[in-house]
Structure 1
Amino acid sequence: MDQRRCPCGSGETMAACCGRYLAGATKPPTAEALMRSRFTAFAVGDEAYLLASWQPDTRPPSCPVDPHTRWLHLTIVDVVDGSPFQVSGIVEFIAVYRDADGRGELHERSVFERVDGHWYYLSGTYR
């Protein structure tokens, strides 16, 4: 069992948090949980999870994870809807990373959609 802290910043272990989603043991119950698990997938380089959690109508053919980018920290700025009982949600976040050019931030407002009980990333707008 993975006892490292989850990259999403929840304070939980990877196994108790996003690791179970990446492993396919269960699906994220909310749009925010899916957003956090996608950040974790970027942090650990799990392209397969990123593609599987992307809504098929907007999913690209590939989503290569840059091995030279290190994802450091995630801050959730705003959450609108996205509960287990809703069909859409918005999560605004700031993801801090380090790459060859130094430290940077990705500020995005992401839209999520729940289809057949599963949340998917639909699109995002950079801030």
Structure 2
Amino acid sequence: MSRNEVIACPCQSGRPYAACCAPLHRGDAIAETAEALMRSRYSAYVRGDADYLRRTWHPSTRPAALDPGDAGATRWLGLDVRRHEQHDADHATVEFIARYKVGGASAVRLHEVSRFVREDGRWFYIDGKFPSR
């Protein structure tokens, strides 16, 4: 059994990485829902997988360059999916809170409501807004 088969998925689904986000990251599967894509993108940030983040970012809003930062210096502390709303067959939003620390700094709480679109059967991240407290 490989390490990926027993390690918990960073997206906190409760499933092993090998049975959760790994097939998406490798390109062996596609996310069936916007929430699944959002979780896989969180896992990609944890793992420093900029290629996957670019592939799942809609071309209309994708940045020219993407630097997820120093994955070794960033310690991801957790993901809390607040809600997933399917607006129609091809549009959805996911509200989440991700927590992380960089170096010895205080923890950062990223609260975002993300928009997703499905094109040709594949979900893409469009953009996100940060709700006011």
Identity among equivalent pairs (%): 41
TM-score (norm 2): 0.90
State the shift of 1:6 in Å.
0.2
Q: Is the 8 A contact 1:7 1:72 kept in 2?
A: no
Provide Cα deviations, 1:51-97, integer angstroms capped at 9, x if missing partner. 00000011001221111222121000111107xx7101000000010
- Distance (whole Å) between structure 2 residues aligned to residue 17 and residue 24 of structure 1: 12
C-alpha distance in 2 between matches for 1:78 and 1:63: 27
1:105 aligns with 2:109: yes
Partner Cα distance (1:55, 1:19) in 2: 21
> Which ranges in structure 1 are unaligned for 5 or more consecutive residues?
none
In structure 2, distance between residues paired with 1:51 and 1:70: 21
- Report the RMSD for the aligned CA atoms in angstroms: 1.2
TM-score by length of 1: 0.94
Quick one: which amino acid aligns to residue 86 of structure 2? D
2:69 aligned to 63, 66, 69, which one?
Answer: 66
Q: Alignment partner of 2:18: what SS?
A: coil
Q: Residue 81 of structure 1: which of 67, 86, 91 is its match?
A: 86
How many corresponding residue pairs? 125
Aligned partner of residue 102 in structure 1, secondary structure: coil
Give the deviation of 1:118 after TM superposition.
Answer: 0.1
More helix by proportion, 1 or 2?
A: 2
